[in-house]
Chains A and B, each alone.
Chain A
Amino acid sequence: MDKVDGTEHYNFKAPADLATLQVIILDTNPLAWAKLEKSSSLSFPSALSQLLIFANAHLAFSQSNRCAVIANHIDGAHFLSPADPGIDPRDPGEADLTPEELKEIAQQNASKYRVFRLLEDEVRASYRRLIMGTTPAAVMASPNGSSMAGALGAALSYINRICFGGTGGRSTGVPGDEKSKVTSAGGKVDDTGRTMHAKILVVSVTPDPANQYIPVMNSIFASQRLKVPIDVCKLQNATVFLQQAADATGGVYMEPEHPQGLLQYLMVGFLPDHLARRSLILPTKVDVDFRAACFCHKKVMDIGFVCSICLSIFCDPPEGAVCSTCQVKLDVTSLENLGKPVVLPAKKKKKKKAIDSLPESGVASAADSPAPAD
């Protein structure tokens, strides 16, 4: 029957050789970078140029590889590359240079591979614009300002459009719908409708934004669904969220011991694409802390109690058995006699006649003894 229908060809698909989109999320909190420079002598400019070398290396792998850079700034996420369409592409740092000086710069860069230069110019120009729009007061107001969730959300939305044509990675699963997939991508599509592979690299210097727990978790799940690994390069302030993000999405988590050698960490740890990674032992962290913190005392514990309605975690049954998050009265009777032998509940009196016919004493004693005497 199958053969008549010719269904077998649905199962056969050669793995498409797709290009990779690298999205870099870069913390640009000036205060955090200043702190890092003090402790490890890695300054932001040198980190940025090392990062650009890494991006160029990625672009050099294949003509169709692409790269996007998102700044996780104190006031939100900003695209550095591709820069916002419609914005003046000139570098504000070069605004007051004379045409002769500009020409000289252009001649210096004349022999540079065009793709590299475009990316570098764009990132530098957008970053200058970003910093010019940031006041010292704003920096001091939010010393740990970070919008990791917003940046991850923007990165994933961008990946969703570039790599999946906006379908969200859900194959429609309806046979006969195949033609809709072969649209934007010059033909090459794999079975989930993806036209490019993608990976995200987070270069982070700020501590975990505690109030973004749920959105960060949600973006982890979204990237799991899109099969996009989140790599994390944590230069200071060890983090739990990003550690879980890397672990859950199959990415690499690294805390460089010597941040001044950033480039080498980037090249060795984060450059391989998904195909190469299959045959490599990745330098990721193996022991990940999965213990949960309770909502009531923020205690980290490994056995806890969970409200069945809102899934809040408690270290002990809450007072009065009322869940503090959703205000629902909880049934804790099953927990009260933990460790004690379970007693069968008294039989419900559905069949009156049957019970009446039983000897009276037997029923009564069973119902009256809630727990064994010992």
Chain B
Amino acid sequence: MADSDEDFVLSSSGDDRPKGRGGARRSTRKSKRADGAPAPGATKREKWEDIQRSWDNVVEGADGSIAGTVIGLLEATKRKRLLRDTTPIQRGIIRHLVLILDLSSAMLEKDLRPTRFLLTLRFARDFVTEFFEQNPISQLSIIGMHDGLALRISDMGGNPADHLTALQEKAFTVEPKGASSLQNALEMGRAELFHTPTHGTREVLLIFGALSSSDPGDIHDTINSLVEDKIQVRIVGLAAQVAVCRELVMKTNDGDDSGYGVILDEGHYRELMMAATTPPVTKTEEKSVPSLLMMGFPSRIVEKHESFCACHSNLTKGGYVCPRCTAKVCFLPTECPCCGLTLVLSTHLARSYHHLFPLKNWVEVPWSEAHNSTHCWSCQAGFPINQAPTSPTKLKIKLSSNLASGASNGTGAATAGKNQQPPLPPTQRYACTDCKTHFCIDCDIFAHESLHFCPGCQSLTEDRIKARANMWPQITEEESRDATMGTQVAEATRMMENSKIAPGTSMEVDS
């Protein structure tokens, strides 16, 4: 949940311009939090008087075209999504999460198209897929809040297909009805998480469409028992902020309310929900005890004749054989239904590494360096050619009022560097800080969101790769070469020592 707030901090202090409706609305909403740096001269002005109009930022070029500005805005939007903290932070990789969906009559509202209910189910499906893609050895369970009761949709399990079928069969067939009951749902979630092992995380993600909760008892008792059981709750509100939700999130996250977000529109809804697919940061005060887990790495077999699998009792011709009890399962990762051994592929473990060793943010290339490349290294897309600073076709982009803090996203040296000169159009080149290869914005995003490694670094000589390969302990020294990165690392280390990693704040690097 931290992500939504991080995004905001970046957009307000970074050098990207507000992008129309969404940006303006976002900043008004957050005005309560008083961290959206007010303009220096206007002490007593209300937030809504400071509306930034997106069209003010667009200035025609000499030829009357705004193409350059549009490209700049597009890239800024894309990049805003992308810039994140790349400090290697310990995260809870083995997760146990209960997804609670609101199925009360409030979900029949049509403020989200087609209805809140249908959109939620659609996002829930995406969430399940994405969650298991990001956390292959984690477990999920789904509960619905329907007609004042908690409705169990799917049991705690690690197979995305089961959850998707359950959603299809149980949730889609339910007509949203009655009130929602936070307490009932949370108690059921707590009961499901009660037996989970201590080395994993215990989390609840609650989608809350209603503005009230009809509970059989005192919700505060439930909150306290959630705190006692070390369950972290994150809430996505669909209507408005609700005091008890805020309290619930604050109490279960050590006073950090960044896990509570209220949506602005469909896109923001999805963003908030998908933020929960990233494993939560492990706080130093032992939320979970690290331990050694016994795991089996089964081999695949192919049989001549069909036999029943132990997990679904389906007739299959092949499958994986548990190395301890030789039961046949048809799906990995899973827990052996016979002897309880966790069965995974070693690739599943490899899949989670990128959460632990994130790829560094790439930096925007200033025009002074841009002559080094004519095209993106990995996708061969051409770059705009160099334009002299005095070029008559130059497009001006107004400096936004808070540009002074533009350095916070590590691209300070780029377009926003000189305060007085009108900035140049973006170079559209982004460079890896290690191998200095230039990439386009799409490859930048692709490398950070899907590949999780830099193709340029990987095609350097072996010595360079080796230097990078010693990952965890050395990375601090290696990174401190770069001033910005160094600050980030130092900041994070300090915060880790202080045992207070507030995910919302770890992004704000003052440099």
Binding site for B on A (CB under 8 A): 1-2, 5-7, 75-77, 79, 82, 84-86, 142, 145, 147, 149-151, 153-154, 156-158, 160-162, 166, 168-170, 172-177, 211-215, 217-222, 225-226, 244, 248, 286-293, 301-311, 313-314, 317, 321, 323, 325-332, 334-335, 338
User: Using Cβ atoms and an 8 Å threshold, which residues of chain A touch B473?
Assistant: 327
B301, A287: Cβ atoms under 8 Å? yes
Pick 21 A–B contacts, CB within 8 A, sort by A: A5-B110, A82-B380, A86-B375, A153-B453, A154-B378, A158-B380, A161-B379, A166-B443, A214-B453, A217-B351, A219-B451, A222-B451, A225-B133, A286-B302, A290-B300, A290-B320, A303-B341, A304-B295, A305-B294, A306-B292, A331-B199
Interchain CA distance A323-B293 in the complex, whole Å: 12
The 6 closest A-B pairs by CB, nearest first: A150-B459, A153-B455, A76-B459, A166-B442, A292-B346, A157-B378
Chain A residue with minimal CB distance to B137?
A311
B381, A161: Cβ atoms under 8 Å? yes
A326, B472: Cβ atoms under 8 Å? yes
Q: At the interface, yes or no: B244 with Cβ under 8 Å from chain A?
A: no
Q: At the interface, yes or no: B458 with Cβ under 8 Å from chain A?
A: yes
User: Using Cβ atoms and an 8 Å threshold, which residues of chain B touch A172?
Assistant: 267, 270
A1, B108: Cβ atoms under 8 Å? yes
Given A308-B292, A329-B290, A313 contacting B346 (CB threshold 8 A): yes
Interchain CA distance A145-B292 in the complex, whole Å: 36
Q: At the interface, yes or no: B94 with Cβ under 8 Å from chain A?
A: yes
User: Using Cβ atoms and an 8 Å threshold, which residues of chain A touch B353?
Assistant: 214, 217-218, 311
User: Using Cβ atoms and an 8 Å threshold, which residues of chain B touch A86?
Assistant: 374-375
B294, A303: Cβ atoms under 8 Å? yes
A218, B452: Cβ atoms under 8 Å? yes
Given A160-B446, A214-B353, A308 contacting B200 (CB threshold 8 A): yes
Q: Kindly provide the distance from the CB of A143 to the nearest chain B CB, expressed in whole angstroms.
A: 11
A211, B466: Cβ atoms under 8 Å? yes
Q: Kindly provide the distance from the CB of B287 to the nearest chain A CB, expressed in whole angstroms.
A: 12
Chain A residue with minimal CB distance to B468?
A211
Q: Kindly provide the distance from the CB of A37 to the nearest chain B CB, expressed in whole angstroms.
A: 25
Given known contacts A219-B453, A306-B294, what 15 new A-B pairs fall within 8 Å (CB)? A5-B114, A77-B455, A154-B377, A154-B379, A156-B451, A158-B379, A168-B450, A170-B449, A174-B270, A175-B114, A212-B458, A214-B357, A303-B323, A304-B294, A331-B289
User: Using Cβ atoms and an 8 Å threshold, which residues of chain B touch A173?
Assistant: 122-123, 126, 270
Q: At the interface, yes or no: B192 with Cβ under 8 Å from chain A?
A: no
Dominant secondary structure at the A interface: mixed
Interchain CA distance A331-B451 in the complex, whole Å: 33
One digit per residue, 1 when the CB lies within 8 angstroms of any chain A CB and 0 when it does not, for chain B 433-462 equals 000000111110111011111111111111
User: Using Cβ atoms and an 8 Å threshold, which residues of chain B touch A218?
Assistant: 350, 353-354, 451-453
Interface residues of B in 51-93 (CB under 8 A from A): 90, 93
- Which of B292, B295, B472 has the most C-beta atoms of chain A within 10 angstroms of its own C-beta? B292
User: Using Cβ atoms and an 8 Å threshold, which residues of chain A touch B122?
Assistant: 173
* Contact residue among A220, A325, A332 (Cβ-Cβ distance under 8 Å from B347): A220
B300, A287: Cβ atoms under 8 Å? yes
B378, A153: Cβ atoms under 8 Å? yes
Chain A residue with minimal CB distance to B134?
A221
Chain A residue with minimal CB distance to B378?
A157
Q: At the interface, yes or no: B298 with Cβ under 8 Å from chain A?
A: yes
Q: At the interface, yes or no: B465 with Cβ under 8 Å from chain A?
A: yes
User: Using Cβ atoms and an 8 Å threshold, which residues of chain A touch B491?
Assistant: none
User: Using Cβ atoms and an 8 Å threshold, which residues of chain A touch B266?
Assistant: 174-176
* Contact residue among B90, B94, B455 (Cβ-Cβ distance under 8 Å from A157): B455
Chain A residue with minimal CB distance to B266?
A174
A307, B462: Cβ atoms under 8 Å? no
Interchain CA distance A257-B465 in the complex, whole Å: 34
B291, A332: Cβ atoms under 8 Å? yes
Q: Kindly provide the distance from the CB of B352 to the nearest chain A CB, expressed in whole angstroms.
A: 6
Q: At the interface, yes or no: B345 with Cβ under 8 Å from chain A?
A: yes
A211, B469: Cβ atoms under 8 Å? yes
B458, A147: Cβ atoms under 8 Å? yes
Interchain CA distance A162-B380 in the complex, whole Å: 10
User: Using Cβ atoms and an 8 Å threshold, which residues of chain B touch A76?
Assistant: 459-460
Q: Kindly provide the distance from the CB of B431 to the nearest chain A CB, expressed in whole angstroms.
A: 15
A248, B458: Cβ atoms under 8 Å? no
User: Using Cβ atoms and an 8 Å threshold, which residues of chain B touch A175?
Assistant: 113-114, 119, 266
Chain B residue with minimal CB distance to A219?
B451
Dominant secondary structure at the B interface: mixed
Q: At the interface, yes or no: B115 with Cβ under 8 Å from chain A?
A: yes
* Contact residue among B115, B288, B301 (Cβ-Cβ distance under 8 Å from A5): B115
A222, B350: Cβ atoms under 8 Å? no
- Which of A149, A219, A221, A335 has the most C-beta atoms of chain B within 10 angstroms of its own C-beta? A221
User: Using Cβ atoms and an 8 Å threshold, which residues of chain A touch B318?
Assistant: 286
User: Using Cβ atoms and an 8 Å threshold, which residues of chain A touch B93?
Assistant: 308-309, 311
Given A154-B378, A172-B267, A309-B93, A287 contacting B302 (CB threshold 8 A): yes
Q: At the interface, yes or no: B297 with Cβ under 8 Å from chain A?
A: yes
Interchain CA distance A218-B356 in the complex, whole Å: 13
Interface residues of B in 113-164 (CB under 8 A from A): 113-115, 118-119, 122-123, 126, 133
A151, B459: Cβ atoms under 8 Å? yes
Q: At the interface, yes or no: B25 with Cβ under 8 Å from chain A?
A: no
B297, A332: Cβ atoms under 8 Å? no
Interchain CA distance A154-B381 in the complex, whole Å: 12
User: Using Cβ atoms and an 8 Å threshold, which residues of chain B touch A5?
Assistant: 110, 113-115, 118
User: Using Cβ atoms and an 8 Å threshold, which residues of chain A touch B320?
Assistant: 290
User: Using Cβ atoms and an 8 Å threshold, which residues of chain B touch A244?
Assistant: 347
Interface residues of B in 275-325 (CB under 8 A from A): 282, 288-302, 318, 320, 323-324
A168, B445: Cβ atoms under 8 Å? yes
User: Using Cβ atoms and an 8 Å threshold, which residues of chain B touch A310?
Assistant: 356, 472
* Contact residue among A290, A314, A325 (Cβ-Cβ distance under 8 Å from B297): A290
Chain B residue with minimal CB distance to A215?
B453
Q: At the interface, yes or no: B349 with Cβ under 8 Å from chain A?
A: yes
A330, B298: Cβ atoms under 8 Å? no
B297, A215: Cβ atoms under 8 Å? no
Q: At the interface, yes or no: B255 with Cβ under 8 Å from chain A?
A: no
Chain B residue with minimal CB distance to A158?
B379
Interchain CA distance A307-B374 in the complex, whole Å: 45
Interchain CA distance A301-B346 in the complex, whole Å: 11
User: Using Cβ atoms and an 8 Å threshold, which residues of chain A touch B452?
Assistant: 218, 222
Interchain CA distance A313-B292 in the complex, whole Å: 9
User: Using Cβ atoms and an 8 Å threshold, which residues of chain B touch A308?
Assistant: 93-94, 199-200, 288, 290-293
Given A86-B375, A157-B446, A225-B133, A303 contacting B297 (CB threshold 8 A): yes
One digit per residue, 1 when the CB lies within 8 angstroms of any chain A CB and 0 when it does not, for chain B 475-504 equals 000000000000000000000000000000
Chain A residue with minimal CB distance to B349?
A311
Q: At the interface, yes or no: B20 with Cβ under 8 Å from chain A?
A: no
Interchain CA distance A154-B451 in the complex, whole Å: 10
Q: Kindly provide the distance from the CB of A123 to the nearest chain B CB, expressed in whole angstroms.
A: 15
Chain B residue with minimal CB distance to A220?
B347
User: Using Cβ atoms and an 8 Å threshold, which residues of chain B touch A217?
Assistant: 347, 350-351, 353
Q: At the interface, yes or no: B382 with Cβ under 8 Å from chain A?
A: yes
Interchain CA distance A161-B377 in the complex, whole Å: 12
Chain B residue with minimal CB distance to A309?
B290
Q: Kindly provide the distance from the CB of B299 to the nearest chain A CB, expressed in whole angstroms.
A: 6
User: Using Cβ atoms and an 8 Å threshold, which residues of chain A touch B94?
Assistant: 308
A226, B292: Cβ atoms under 8 Å? no
A157, B114: Cβ atoms under 8 Å? no
A301, B297: Cβ atoms under 8 Å? yes
Chain A residue with minimal CB distance to B301?
A287
A335, B461: Cβ atoms under 8 Å? no
A215, B458: Cβ atoms under 8 Å? yes
Interchain CA distance A174-B352 in the complex, whole Å: 27
A157, B443: Cβ atoms under 8 Å? yes
A313, B350: Cβ atoms under 8 Å? no
User: Using Cβ atoms and an 8 Å threshold, which residues of chain B touch A84?
Assistant: 374-375, 380
A211, B465: Cβ atoms under 8 Å? yes
User: Using Cβ atoms and an 8 Å threshold, which residues of chain A touch B300?
Assistant: 286-288, 290
User: Using Cβ atoms and an 8 Å threshold, which residues of chain B touch A147?
Assistant: 458-460
Interchain CA distance A174-B22 in the complex, whole Å: 15
